[in-house]
Structure 1
Amino acid sequence: MFNKIKLLTQSKFARNVAVVVTGTAGAQAIAMVFSPVITRIYGPETFGAMGTFIAIFEMISPLAALSYPMAMVLPKQDSDAIGLAKISIWIAVITSLITAMVLILFKTPVVEAFNLHAIEPYILLLPITMLFSVLVTISSQWTIRKRLFKLKAKTAILQALIISLMKAGLGLLNPSAIILIGTTSFGYLLQAALIGIGIREKDKEDKPSTHSSFQVTGLLKQYKDFAYYRTPQIFLNSVGQSLPILMLANLFSPAAVGFYVLARTVLFVPSSLIGTSVAEVFYPKFVETIRNGESGKKLLVKASATLAAIGSVPYLVLIAFGPWLFALIFGAEWKEAGEFSRWMSIWLFVVLATRPIIAAIPALSLQGLFLVFEAIAVLIRIFAILIGYLWTGTALGAVMAFSLSNVIIYAALTIIIVRKA
């Protein structure tokens, strides 16, 4: 046992995971420390408005750069990765301008169609946030490519501290939705700027080698699968994940959306803390394994099993004591969010365990298959929410059905990808 622990601590993969986990843990810890303060400043309705904004943003953000930033880890030469970054920025500028024009010209029909009255005054922040999010993705993919995990960890902690202070401080002056939405949007720009500064300082130290200039047309064609398959897949997944917020807003009240948003925020902590950290380190290692002509099945299964074992503890606690914990930590008016968390924990436990599965898809060239799978999954999620609503007539019933449908979806995806690996 001692030898195994020693080998684990000496493993570069394990050390990289530990670094990313430390940064993510620090950022999540800061956010959670401020959460009881923030939930007592802003009510469920205000959280509901922010949740609606985030739901719409998450639906349209995959279109911002057509997923080209995700390909930055794959090229052998840094010049090609830099070329993909430049291509991504130009696409993001164009799509953000188009989105802004659509919202300006057709603002009223869009608001009426999706019942977006709660965020109507702030709707033009959507294209701005789209552009900022692409900058974050590009800078993050570069840190993953160059294995700058310490930089990523430091910037995550600093960004979380600044944004949390802004939400709490500005909320005391004006506890409105514009503060939550505005600071969320600014958070993307801040994170990209912090990582960018760190990358520039690192480049000065390392004096990186230069390569031949990239060819735009060649890169667009070489990584077209990300635009053709990965982008619509991520879009469909975002639609599927945003469905509860949009449907709760239409079927029930802004407060129900607020309960769901808080529950999801808390429950994503283990997934972000452990799952994202492992996936970011796992992805380049898995790419290298496949590139060397080796089977990635063993690595895939091991990473998923480890995450499942670790994630079972926090989610079991929330299943058992969710309502009590939410009322104690966030205030009595948030007890309903704790009821939501019990059922959502089952779903997000499966999401955590399948992080490596999702990360492996580009390396296995299964983008087309994943797109078809995601389209079917969206239909299943829609029917699940409607069945839960019609059967129980409550927001909790809709959340229960949605959560259980996701368990089935991710379990099926795991079986498919492991067999392909």
Structure 2
Amino acid sequence: MASEVLLSIQNVISRLKTSHFVRDVAMVGGGIAAGQAIAMIFMPFLTRLYSPEDFGIAATFAAIISIITPIATMGYANAIVMPDSDEDAAAIIRLSVLLSLFVAAISFIVVYFGNVYLARWTGMESTPYMLYLIPLTLLAGAFLSVADQSAIRVGLFKAKARAYVESKLVTDTSKLIGGMWAPSGMLLILLTIAGQLTNFMMQMLRVPRIGVLNVRNWFGTVGIRNAAISQRDFAIYRMPQSMLNAASVGLPTILLASLFSASSAGQYSLAVLVLGAPAMLLGQAVGEVFYPKITRAITAKSPEAYQFLLKVTVILLVVGIVPFGTVFVFGDYLFSLVFGAEWALAGSYSQWLSIWLLTSLVSGASTAALPALRLQRFLLIREVFAVIFRAAALYIGFYVFESDMVAIALFSFVGVLLSLSIVYVAFRRLVHIHEVQQ
């Protein structure tokens, strides 16, 4: 019996070694792991150079950017992997680039005329001039998104991973050096933008500039009308869904900054940043490789799609329990030890956030499958309710209990329910498809 079990394990390991999917996940995951390792190595030094207020200012700006970034390409950048032909994919890229240029110009006008009001609404009254960085950040994010999706389309995971690692090293080294001379929230924002541009340039230097990766094909108007129509689901559903998701996730940072202090927002941002490392490592690595594969499996109506999704979901759950479980039990102690005594509050936040981020990680595979399952409408509706429920949770914590800790706990509980809803709907749709085929 023992020999049979051992043989079975050896067979599984052998299949994993020869699996293209596992190899691609390892490639992307290795790059992200290296990048996150760099961030974690630098973070204990950065938290002793920059104050929680500095981190709070940068985090508030990042929350604002994450909410409006999907507008930059109207969600079309995510559709680059969908067409069968490179010509159609290039048309989507041209559409995305044109939209980003237009949106950046509009955002500058909005900031110029509404600077005072925007600063008041976002808790950035002390640093309203930073809002003028929004157009530049939108452009940098849009071009990086186009480059990322193009590389994913043609399977250049190694070049993408190396560019990410190099940009993280350059960015965090710059933050460390800058923190020794003149630490500030403004510096953190500027260097983050520079990191995006570095990532883009490093990536483009390593890929063959042909097809969708030929930058000359990114500009013009050829085919953009057909691209806008054929992939309109991404603009109708994915863009508002992404914005609502970012809004609901960024609400605590913005509300902590405006209702409590930038320091509280900084504590929360560190907790999310640290916990986001394992979630990003596995979620993004699996998602980028899993997305095109599950899309092809569902489009081909393969009966193996259900088992494929189930296997990846279980793997994410098993692997995620260890890091998130550790933080749930020892979060406050670990944060004080690693990042300094003044960051103990971030550790307390992390204990509640770990529950939500574990379920968010587990739902990553199901989220990647939803576009192919034609469930982007569900995602949009879900995000509408997500914003309502998360805002209600924060309102109860801030105004009823007058406690930031209660607000974060309720916010996390809502996040757990929302993540599980995605898993339930994705599997239910696959079961339905399988029953119809039979």
Normalising by structure 2, we get a TM-score of 0.92
Residue 235 (structure 1) aligns with: 243
2:385 is the counterpart of 1:376:
yes
> 1:283 is matched by which residue type in structure 2?
Y
- Please list, as runs of the form range in 1=range in 2, the aligned pairs for 1:334-353 lying within 5 A after superposition: 334-353=343-362
2:319 is the counterpart of 1:310:
yes
Residue deviations 1:56-96, cap 9 Å, x none? 10111111110101001010001111111111011000001
Whole-Å separation in 1 of the counterparts to 2:179 and 2:391: 35
| Structure 1 residue 251, shift from structure 2 partner | 2.0
Are the counterparts in 1 of residues 116 and 125 from structure 2 also a CA contact under 8 Å? Answer: no
What 5-or-longer segments of structure 1 have no aligned partner?
207-212
SS of alignment partner, residue 73 of structure 2 = coil
Whole-Å separation in 1 of the counterparts to 2:127 and 2:98: 28
Are the counterparts in 2 of residues 319 and 342 from structure 1 also a CA contact under 8 Å? Answer: yes
Runs (4+) of structure 1 exceeding 4 A deviation are none
Aligned partner (choices 64, 69, 90) of residue 56 of structure 1: 64
Residue 278 (structure 1) aligns with: 286
Residue 18 (structure 1) aligns with: 26
What 5-or-longer segments of structure 2 have no aligned partner?
1-8, 215-220, 431-438
Residue 217 (structure 2) aligns with: none
Residue 49 (structure 2) aligns with: 41
Aligned partner (choices 168, 189, 203) of residue 195 of structure 1: 203
Whole-Å separation in 1 of the counterparts to 2:314 and 2:259: 38
| Structure 1 residue 393, shift from structure 2 partner | 1.8
| Structure 1 residue 114, shift from structure 2 partner | 2.9
Residue 327 (structure 1) aligns with: 336
SS of alignment partner, residue 171 of structure 1 = helix
Are the counterparts in 2 of residues 51 and 258 from structure 1 also a CA contact under 8 Å? Answer: yes
2:29 is the counterpart of 1:7:
no
Residue 253 (structure 2) aligns with: 245
Residue 85 (structure 2) aligns with: 77
| Structure 1 residue 412, shift from structure 2 partner | 1.6
Are the counterparts in 1 of residues 238 and 376 from structure 2 also a CA contact under 8 Å? Answer: yes
Name the stretch that deviates more: 323-332 or 106-115.
106-115
Are the counterparts in 1 of residues 70 and 239 from structure 2 also a CA contact under 8 Å? Answer: yes
2:225 is the counterpart of 1:217:
yes
RMSD (CA atoms): 1.7
Aligned partner (choices 402, 416, 426) of residue 393 of structure 1: 402
Residue 414 (structure 1) aligns with: 423
Are the counterparts in 1 of residues 290 and 365 from structure 2 also a CA contact under 8 Å? Answer: yes
Identity of aligned residues (%): 34
SS of alignment partner, residue 127 of structure 2 = helix
Residue deviations 1:328-350, cap 9 Å, x none? 11111001100000000000001
Residue deviations 1:181-209, cap 9 Å, x none? 10111111111111111123688x99xxx
Whole-Å separation in 2 of the counterparts to 1:48 and 1:305: 35
| Structure 1 residue 111, shift from structure 2 partner | 1.5
Aligned partner (choices 103, 127, 130) of residue 95 of structure 1: 103
Whole-Å separation in 1 of the counterparts to 2:209 and 2:244: 38
Whole-Å separation in 1 of the counterparts to 2:210 and 2:48: 41
Whole-Å separation in 1 of the counterparts to 2:126 and 2:235: 32
Normalising by structure 1, we get a TM-score of 0.96
